[in-house]
Amino acid sequence: MKNPPFEYHCPGSLNEAVTLLAELGDDAKILAGGQSLLPVMALRLGTPPHIIDIGGLTELADITVGSDGVTIGATVRHRAAETSDDIARHAPLVAAALPHVGHRAIRTRGTVLGSIAHADPAAEMPAVCLATGATMVARSVDGEREIAAADFFEGYLTTVLHDNEILTHVRFPAWPATAGAAVVEISRRHGDYALVGLACKVDVTEGEITSAALSFLGVSGTPVRVTRAEQSLVGKTPGDTV
């Protein structure tokens, strides 16, 4: 099926984009990489009359490392993040998750923040945000606000973002030198959405687990932290049966 007709807008700046969004309200959808939005439209599951394409906004194409962690802008493609030395070194759970996101062609177009805004419960990035305690930065004509990952995902394909807001950045906290990262998944074929998956951050000091963050994907309408299981790991040695 073909996409329904829509009016295409291509703002030249973030300010222009949020102004357009404020004018058009819930008649408009943001287009980033289009890897989820365009299939949704082609299947007529969503028929927004206006599309605001932010994919070309270079002011949001930044990956920056600071004392507060790693910040990724809204037009950074999955593949750019996957091949970033800064992400590999300073956000290893993000790096571990990225190769699981669809196929390379999808990662070449799709954006990290598009995945987060789309909030598919089987997607990797929302689970990584939850496990790491990431912070989302949203902008509207009214200004900027920050939202903790734990408060961001509301349900299936639903977040707390308002209709007039654009997610501009996600910030992953500084990664401790003592922590390890892993993403494990079960999927029918590599590149498919996972049936179930787990994003883990485990802190080990002098051979003992001092904290653990375990975030499941594909098990509910949002990613899920399993806090009792996390607590049961504290004080154990990696490899112990708990």
Which residues lie near ligand FAD (CB under 6 A)? 29-37, 39, 74, 101-102, 106, 110-111, 113-115, 117-118, 123-125, 161, 166-167, 193
Looking at the Cβ atoms of 30 and 149, the one nearer to ligand FAD is 30
149 Cβ partners below 8 Å, 6+ apart?
126, 129, 130, 132, 133, 134, 135, 136
Q: Where are the beta strands (DSSP E) in 128-240?
A: 135-140, 143-148, 153-155, 158-159, 166-172, 179-186, 196-205, 208-217, 224-225
Whole-number minimum distance, CB 49 to ligand FAD, in Å? 13
- The least CB distance from residue 168 to ligand FAD, in Å, is 7
CB proximity list for 16: less than 8 A, separation 6 or greater: none
CB of 231 to ligand FAD, least distance (A): 28
Q: Which is nearer to ligand FAD, 82 or 124 (CB)?
A: 124
CB-nearer residue toward ligand FAD: 185 or 230: 185
* Residue 92 or 110 having the CB closest to ligand FAD: 110
CB of 196 to ligand FAD, least distance (A): 12
For the bound state, the minimum distance from the C-beta of residue 127 to ligand FAD, rounded and expressed in Å, comes to 9
Helices (H), the chain: 14-24, 37-42, 78-82, 85-90, 92-97, 104-109, 112-118, 124-132, 149-152, 227-233
- CA–CA separation, 208 and 236 (whole Å): 6
CB nearest ligand FAD: which residue? 110
First to last CA, the chain: 51
Smaller CB separation from ligand FAD, 84 or 233 = 84
- C-alpha closest to that of 191 among 82, 104, 94: 104
Query: Which amino acid, residue 122?
Result: A
Q: How far is the CB of 177 from ligand FAD (least distance, A)?
A: 28
- Which lies closer to ligand FAD via its Cβ, residue 110 or residue 223? 110
